[in-house]
Structure 1
Amino acid sequence: MLRDPVVGVLALQGDVREHLAALREQGARAVPVRRPDELAAVDGLVLPGGESTTIAKLAARTGLLDPLRDAVAAGLPVYGSCAGMILLADRLLDAPADQVTVGGLDVTVRRNAFGRQVDSFEADLGLDGLPGGPLRAVFIRAPWVEQAGPGVQVLARVVGGPADGRIVAVRQGDLVATSFHPELTGDRRVHALFVQIVRSHLAERAGVHAGNEEVPA
């Protein structure tokens, strides 16, 4: 029987506690991640909402940026919400010239695409593959995906209004990103989806390791 997954939340800035609580409700061992050794101990990672430029600068200052990039490249499941989506993006629009990202997600993301803090809003979204009907989504100075690469699955788009059709949730392998903040509502389905991705990743690794074991003579 597989152990419960250890899922970290990057705890440099942003809404860390809300993600930790939501992950624990899904049976994960949720832990804050502030150092490279803590990152090395997790089975999956959440990049929370907050200020993407601040998070990136703190990650570089604390020696976490390169280990984060290496972990994503090595296949670590990662979920990014709002600022986390920006951090996972390979390409940015409307970003400071010196802003860096973790990367790994083949998307172009436009920062603050929906406007300023006063333009924050909520909307009901249908998320592809997520049962149970529409999801209430909270957008706060949110980005959107301007362009998604061929290997990226679009999970949700805005319906209606001036942003009609804009991409606000994507998945590429074990990387998931949303423009909105599911940790701020009582609906835990996005966190449940991510914890299941981490569990499946663990199971696949366990199968590979078992298959590589030598058979006693």
Structure 2
Amino acid sequence: MKIGVLGVQGDVREHVEALHKLGVETLIVKLPEQLDMVDGLILPGGESTTMIRILKEMDMDEKLVERINNGLPVFATCAGVILLAKRIKNYSQEKLGVLDITVERNAYGRQVESFETFVEIPAVGKDPFRAIFIRAPRIVETGKNVEILATYDYDPVLVKEGNILACTFHPELTDDLRLHRYFLEMVK
């Protein structure tokens, strides 16, 4: 099994390190043809407008949508969730539009208002998961086929729709590998 981490911008290294701790072969994906070399893909946190601009400049956006629509398992964190969302409530930007959610960008505040909390994620075990929110989006609406796996303050923060897993926080910034392990089970 080989897992790609989209390497155009953002928390690439942190996701690669988490995967290495789990003994997984990784590839930092920077070219469209590399999307065919991976069994699953992580879209890291970062800056979503920069990420979509680079994807379009590299002609990778359409290939990525095609691979996701054909079943490529994807795990998106923070800005990656914005990229995948079908709808963005408070900002007009291009997106991939493959996940049936509506998001609100930077909904929990600016960089200085970033915070940590614990969330319950029954799908990965009974122990609370340390969630780090940095300029995080808020999922304000989910489609009927979107499964909500975790919430914070009544808002979904971890969702799954088919082959897509998306969380608005940063699991790669913790030592807790349970969400990465959960994603690997989706890939198998």
More strand by share: 2
What is the identity, as a one-letter code, of the residue corresponding to 2:32? P
Distance in 1 (alpha carbons) for counterparts of 2:52 and 2:122: 30
Q: 1:189 aligns with which of 170, 178, 182?
A: 178
Could you tell me whether the CA contact under 8 Å between 2:86 and 2:101 is conserved in 1? yes
Could you tell me whether the CA contact under 8 Å between 1:23 and 1:195 is conserved in 2? no
- The equivalences for 1:4-83 within 5 A come to 5-83=1-79
What is the identity, as a one-letter code, of the residue corresponding to 1:59? L
| 1:132 positional shift | 4.1
TM-score (norm 1): 0.85
Identity in percent? 45
Counterpart for residue 202 of structure 1? none
What is the identity, as a one-letter code, of the residue corresponding to 1:187? D
- The equivalences for 1:140-179 within 5 A come to 140-158=134-152, 164-179=153-168
Listed as ranges, the gaps of 5+ residues in structure 2 are none
Listed as ranges, the gaps of 5+ residues in structure 1 are 159-163, 200-217
1:158-200 deviation digits (Å, cap 9, x = unpaired): 1xxxxx211111001120000100000100100000011111x
Counterpart for residue 98 of structure 2? 104
Counterpart for residue 169 of structure 2? 180
Distance in 2 (alpha carbons) for counterparts of 1:108 and 1:26: 32
Distance in 2 (alpha carbons) for counterparts of 1:196 and 1:178: 16
Counterpart for residue 82 of structure 2? 86
1:98-129 deviation digits (Å, cap 9, x = unpaired): x1112211111111110100110000000131
TM-score (norm 2): 0.97
1:62-99 deviation digits (Å, cap 9, x = unpaired): 1111101111111100000000111111111112x3x1
Distance in 2 (alpha carbons) for counterparts of 1:174 and 1:28: 19
Counterpart for residue 138 of structure 1? 132
Over aligned residues, Cα RMSD in angstroms? 0.9
Distance in 2 (alpha carbons) for counterparts of 1:25 and 1:94: 37
Q: Which has the larger radius of gyration?
A: 1
- Secondary structure (helix, strand or coil) at the match of 1:154 reads strand
Distance in 2 (alpha carbons) for counterparts of 1:6 and 1:29: 5
Could you tell me whether the CA contact under 8 Å between 1:26 and 1:195 is conserved in 2? no
How many aligned residue pairs are there? Answer: 188
Runs of 4+ with >3 A deviation: none
Distance in 2 (alpha carbons) for counterparts of 1:20 and 1:63: 24
